[in-house]
Amino acid sequence: MPDPVAWTVVERGWQVIGAAGEKLGYVDDVLGDPDADIFDGLSVSGGLFKERRYVPAEQVGSIYAGEIHLLIDKNEFERLPPAQ
């Protein structure tokens, strides 16, 4: 497994994976202030006809190049609020 990376290098299109290993979608936007090193969360797109979801930083677990692992599963992800 690759080494973890900082939230500041996360890019749009990185895969988002749930706590049970399920693929949930892709990073649409990274929310935060890199200059102050404040990570607020992610906007995640679940697919063509699915609403984007806001994932707070507290629900983000490990970050590796190209993929984000959440601390929540698919059911919890689907109950998150829409991204603004």
pLDDT confidence bin for 60, thresholds 50/70/90: very high
| pLDDT value of residue 51 | 87
d(CA 74, CA 23): 8
Domains located in the chain, CATH noted: 7-78 (2.30.30.240)
pLDDT surpasses 80 at 32: yes
Query: Between vectors from CA 11 to CA 68 and to CA 74, what angle results, nearest 5°?
Result: 30
pLDDT surpasses 70 at 49: no
Is residue 66 within 8 Å of 26, Cβ to Cβ?
A: no
Sign (positive/negative) of CA torsion 81, 62, 66, 9?
Answer: positive
pLDDT surpasses 80 at 34: yes
